[in-house]
Amino acid sequence: MKELKLDSLCVQAGYSPETGESRIPPICQSTTFFYGDTQEMADCFDLKSDGYFYSRLANPTVAALEGKVAALEGGVAAIGCASGMSATTLAAFTVAGAGDNVVISQACYGGTFNLFGTTLPKLGIECRFFNPDDSAEEIEKLIDDKTKFIFCETVANPSIVVLDFDKIASICKKHELLFIVDNTLATPALCQPKKFGVNIVIHSSTKYLDGHAAALGGMIVDLGNFNFKGNPRYSSMNIPDESYHGLVYADLPVAFATKCRAQMIRDIGAIMAPMNAYITYLGCDTLALRMARHSSNAKTVAAYLSKHPKIEWVKHASLPDNKYHALAEKYLPNGQGGMMSFGIKGDVKKCATFMEALKMITQETHVADVRSCVLHPASTTHRQLSKEDLVKAGVPENLVRLSVGIENPDDIIADLEQALAKI
């Protein structure tokens, strides 16, 4: 369905029924699948046939969503994971092991920061963080023979830094290094990283892809545009995998996703549940429509807040004076999504008073669903971070994160207005 436009793909891609079958993907709530013939089942295990045999490795409902997200990102394969965090972890394990290092933008989601800053180093994977505003030369200094990828977010959560794709892509090209991007907050409806030199896309589908705060999930999308063959950086892709009958992943048309599924998903699990895939599949139907509305609402709200006397600053790339406005015009011309952050004039207590005064907008450890919600990262998602790391991650103490929903923008502004009047 490559010829369809993105909003059509949202509705049509991923699943096409045969005569008499259900129009939307059925929920295949089964751990296992029947085979009458031993050889047929053996062929599945050998990856000679792509039949389903055990839902930890693949499941038809999850496959429908994988097909849809792969189509939206222009990828060759996708893997549905239990959560966004497991997607990032499994993608990292696919190419990196003890003794390797990875290079990460420090403007990233709190969980991602902890994964790369604490958990992966315990397993011997060194993580080298860079400031997204650093020059290409400075970032390049972090790369050596043991570097396996550079990891960034299209729109960073919650610092709302917009990724300079060209800067990172040129470094990765020069060093024949994998470029992995977490596209959660932009979604393919606003930005397709493949157009800008990215090789692997990660999603927390928990956010906009589902869009309704109903199902946890993650996605790894192999964009099929990285050549592992003969690249000494990726020896594990080029030597036979004895745990998989001597398969050499670099020889396959879909190297990364095959290794990720055959090794990482097999050994670690963390696959998406069929029910969650079903819910997320339905959510994706309206992705393009929702992202347009999230973006226009957020633009209106950002303009309103930026003029409010009780607000110190507002970060949303739609604002002409935003540091990342030019990058957003280049990479996210059709809208910048619903996530924004702002600083309240005052301390942590004032932030709390404001948030408690909100009536329609709720306090939630969530972003990117149809309902507007707020969060105070310094006391929740980022509370494990030290004061210095908070500043590093672009999350000062008075920062309020606002995820603008798809309600009527007048109602969102009216709620903010009455709550600001109380501080």
Q: How far is the CB of 270 from ligand PLP (least distance, A)?
A: 10
Q: Which residue is nearest to ligand PLP (CB)?
A: 84
Give just the sign of the alpha carbon dihedral 110, 116, 117, 123: positive
Closest listed residue to residue 69, CA positions, set 121, 13, 130: 13
Letters for 196-215 (x = contact with ligand PLP by CB under 6 A, - = none) are --------x-xx--------
Between helices 287-306 and 274-285, what is the axis angle to 10°?
70
Phi then psi dihedrals of residue 331, to 5 deg: -105, -20
Q: How far is the CB of 147 from ligand PLP (least distance, A)?
A: 21
Encoding tokens for residue 4? 């369809």
Q: How far is the CB of 80 from ligand PLP (least distance, A)?
A: 12
| Residue 185 binding ligand PLP, by CB under 6 A | yes
Phi then psi dihedrals of residue 296, to 5 deg: -70, -40
Neighbouring-strand partners of residue 155: 162
Q: Which is nearer to ligand PLP, 112 or 199 (CB)?
A: 112
Question: Using the rule CB under 6 A, which residue among 9, 71, 72, 85 binds ligand PLP?
Answer: 85
| Binding piece for ligand PLP, criterion CB under 6 A, among 16-24, 142-150, 180-188, 297-305 | 180-188
Q: How far is the CB of 187 from ligand PLP (least distance, A)?
A: 11
| Residue 83 binding ligand PLP, by CB under 6 A | yes
Encoding tokens for residue 388? 């210095």
Query: Distance (Å, rounded) from C-alpha 297 to C-alpha 413?
Result: 10
Q: How far is the CB of 91 from ligand PLP (least distance, A)?
A: 12
Contacts of ligand PLP in 217-236 (CB under 6 A): 218
Q: Which is nearer to ligand PLP, 75 or 236 (CB)?
A: 75
| Strand, coil or helix: 312 | strand
Contacts of ligand PLP in 110-149 (CB under 6 A): 111-112
| Residue 69 binding ligand PLP, by CB under 6 A | no
| Binding piece for ligand PLP, criterion CB under 6 A, among 52-60, 77-85, 219-227, 239-247 | 77-85
Encoding tokens for residue 242? 């004895």
Helix residue ranges per DSSP H, 96-209: 110-114, 120-122, 136-140, 165-175, 187-190
Question: Using the rule CB under 6 A, which residue among 15, 93, 109, 208 binds ligand PLP?
Answer: 109
Encoding tokens for residue 180? 């992995």
Letters for 45-64 (x = contact with ligand PLP by CB under 6 A, - = none) are --------------------
Question: Using the rule CB under 6 A, which residue among 157, 187, 199, 276 binds ligand PLP?
Answer: 157
Q: Which is nearer to ligand PLP, 39 or 365 (CB)?
A: 365
| Binding piece for ligand PLP, criterion CB under 6 A, among 55-63, 81-89, 392-400, 406-414 | 81-89
Output the 3-class SS for 38-84: HHHHHHHHCCCCCCCCECCCCCHHHHHHHHHHHHHHCCCEEEEECCH
Q: How far is the CB of 36 from ligand PLP (least distance, A)?
A: 38
For the sheet containing 147-153, what is the strand order?
A: 77-81, 218-222, 200-204, 178-182, 147-153, 101-105, 126-130
Closest listed residue to residue 343, CA positions, set 397, 423, 413: 397
Name the site residues for ligand PLP (rule: CB under 6 A). Answer: 83-85, 109, 111-112, 153, 157, 182, 184-185, 204, 206-207, 216, 218
